[in-house]
Amino acid sequence: MNLLEHQGKYLLGSVGLSVPQGQIVDDAEAAASAAATLGGRVVCKAQITAGKRGKSGAVRIVDSADAVHDVAREILGAEVNGHRVESLLVEQAVDIASELYAAVLDDPAGKSPVLLFSTAGGMDIEEVNAAHPERVHRLPLDVRDGLPEAATRELLVASGLDRPDVAPVAEALAGIYRLYREADASLVEVNPLVVTTDGAVVAVDAKVTIDPASTHRQSDLLDGLPGGRPSGGGTDLERRGAEQGLSYIELDGDVGVLANGAGLTMTTLDAITHFGGRPANFLEIGGDAYTKATPALELVLSNPRVRSLLVNFCGAFARTDVMTDGVVRAIEELRPEVPISFTIHGTGEVEAIELVRERLGVQPYDLMDDAVQAAIADAHRETEEVSA
Ligand code: GDP
Ligand code: MN
């Protein structure tokens, strides 16, 4: 469960971190009057659970209350990275001396929490890690010991952080860790954690994810958040999927995926990535693929980034010809413009393959790997034509 930035900051404030003074608003007039109350330079920040708002023009530093009115009108109601902006955080601008990255998160590979820290804050940490892995410092944690003070300070010194900043940053990290533990978070990320020109350490951004398995014992915390319990968030398409009873997760690639069962879908996503492609979605449809084929396909194709479609069915108890019949009907109804690659295995595959060949004039691939590579090639080909 992803919290909005202002909710994350509220929680960070409760564990002792400094956060900028601000107000949450949902119309331009309120934004302007918040700016006037706060005084001086303010930052207008779209409250959505997607990141990289800065790059998308959804975080704006503004000098006057009049200008805030215009900026608020521009951002409120707009769609940013697939999310509709319903509220705006208007905050006192911070004078930044340096931007740091700090996070405590679950590390599934290490089967423990991990502290991540970098002096290259304000940037996408994955990009920093790819270009300069030596600049991302990690400390695996043991929940029985908590955040070890000496090791934390050593890490901060090794990261190149200015000596006078080590103590206040270590204190901020202790708060971040405490929130991670007490809120049953899977992620508490502050990027940037800022050292101001006055030497104060301030959380300028906040991303907090609460483990959905813990929401039952975190109801006081969730109900006590400003703005109330988060709706669950998600992109417009993800919400649409949820309304139709489909577990759909929007990804940032271009190969649309329709497979049966979560396991096969995950395998398909892995195979796409393995062959150098990028999946556009996760979508779980099970044996009921037959009845949900049309809304499922509609959802997959509604993602504007989709340039090709990969259908991967594998049936044991659930018959693949029944699933395929549903999908073929959906394709006949929706007439997608993107190329489609099929691969079908298991119970009913002979009938299923015949169905696809006859009704759609498409030959399914014998091997999943070949279907995956064809779908990736289609996606790349389309992209080239579009950009040419
Ligand atoms: P994100 O792009 O969604 O991660 O949004 P952030 O809240 O991290 O803001 C993006 C960037 O805007 C930050 O890394 C800062 O460089 C800048 N920024 C945000 N708030 C302030 C502020 O109060 N003062 C200044 N000078 N820059 C800010
Ligand atoms: Mn940020």
Q: pLDDT tens across 195-219, in order? A: 999 999 999 999 999 987 788 899 8
pLDDT (0 to 100) of residue 236:
84
Q: Is the pLDDT of residue 306 over 80?
A: yes
Q: What is the mean pLDDT of residues 173-185?
A: 98
365 DSSP 8-state letter: B
Which residues lie across from 193 on neighbouring strands? 100, 203
Say if ligand 1 is within 6 A of residue 54 CB: yes
CA of 122 to the centre of ligand 1 (A): 7
The whole-number pLDDT of residue 285 equals 77
Nearest-angstrom CA–CA distance, 32 and 42: 10
Distance CA 27, CA 24 (A): 10
Among the bound ligands, name the one nearest to the CA of residue 42.
1
- Give ion ligand 2 contacts, CB < 5 A: 191, 205
Taking 70 as the threshold, does the pLDDT of residue 387 lie above it?
Answer: no
**Residue 14 corresponds to which tokens in the numbers above?**
């409760």
Please give the mean pLDDT across all residues of the chain: 93
- Given ligand 1 and candidates 41, 59, 94, which is best to mutate, with the most ligand atoms within 8 Å of its CB? 59
Please say if the pLDDT value at position 347 is more than 90: yes
Q: Is the pLDDT of residue 8 over 80?
A: yes
Give 210-230 as a DSSP string.
E-GGGGGGGHHHHHTSTT-S-
Return the pLDDT at 69.
97
| Position 122 confidence tier, pLDDT thresholds 50, 70, 90 | very high
Distances 186 to 128, 173, 183 between C-alpha atoms, Å: 21, 15, 9
Q: How far apart are CA 151 and CA 265, in angstroms?
A: 41
Specify the range with the lowest mean pLDDT, choosing from 88-97, 153-162, 211-220, 260-269. Answer: 211-220
Cβ count within 10 A of residue 182: 13
Q: Give, using CA atoms, the residue closest to atom 12 of ligand 1.
A: 54
For residue 39, report the phi and psi dihedrals to the nearest 5 degrees: 80, 155
Q: For the chain, what is the total number of helices (H) and then of strands (E)?
A: 13, 17
Ligand nearest to the CA of 45: 1
pLDDT value at position 388?
Answer: 43
Least confident of 242-246, 294-298, 355-359: 242-246
Distance CA 56, CA 333 (A): 36
Q: Which ligand 1 atom minimizes the distance to the CA of 54?
A: 2
Instruction: Give the phi and the psi of residue 37 in degrees, each rounded to 5.
Output: -65, -45
Q: How far is Cα of residue 194 from the mean position of the Cα atoms in its chain? A: 23
Confidence of residue 82 (pLDDT cuts 50, 70, 90): confident
Written as six digits, the tokens of 13 are 């404030």
The ligand 1 atom nearest the CA atom of 123: 14
Q: Provide the b/e sequence for 160-181 (b: ≥16 CB within 10 Å).
A: ebeeebbeebbebbbbbbbbbb
Tokens of 282: 């996760």
**3-state SS, residue 153:** helix
Question: Which ligand 1 atom lies nearest to the CA of residue 95?
Answer: 26
What's the token pair of residue 371? Answer: 């279907």
pLDDT at 385 over 70: no
Q: What is the band of 42 on the pLDDT scale with cuts at 50, 70, 90?
A: very high
Among all bound ligands, the one having the nearest atom to the CA of 49 is 1
Q: How far apart are CA 351 and CA 341, in angstroms?
A: 17
Closest ligand to the CA of 100: 1
Describe the crossing of helices 262-274 and 368-387 by its angle, rounded to 10 degrees: 60
Q: Whose CA is nearest to atom 6 of ligand 1?
A: 205
The pLDDT of residue 383 is: 54
Question: Per-residue pLDDT averaged across 56-76, rounded?
Answer: 95
Counting Cα atoms < 13 Å in the Cβ hemisphere of 227 gives 23
Q: Taking a C-beta distance cutoff of 8 angstroms, is the pair 64, 91 a contact?
A: no
Q: Is the CB of 93 under 6 A from ligand 1?
A: yes
Among 182, 176, 180, smallest CA distance to 100 is for 176
Return the ligand 1 atom nearest residue 205 CA: 7
pLDDT band at 286 (very low <50, low <70, confident <90, very high): low
Q: What is the pTM of this model?
A: 0.72
Alpha carbon distance 186, 2 (integer Å): 10
Tell whether the model's pLDDT for residue 369 goes beyond 90: yes
Task: Compute the average pLDDT of residues 76-80.
Answer: 95
- Can you list the alpha helix ranges (DSSP code H) found in 159-281? 163-182, 219-223, 236-243, 262-274
Q: Is 96 in the pocket of ligand 1 (CB under 6 A)?
A: yes
Residue 53: CB within 6 Å of ligand 1? Answer: yes
Maximum pairwise Cα distance, the chain: 73
Which ligand 1 atom is the nearest neighbour of the CA of 45? 7
CA distance 15 to 139: 21
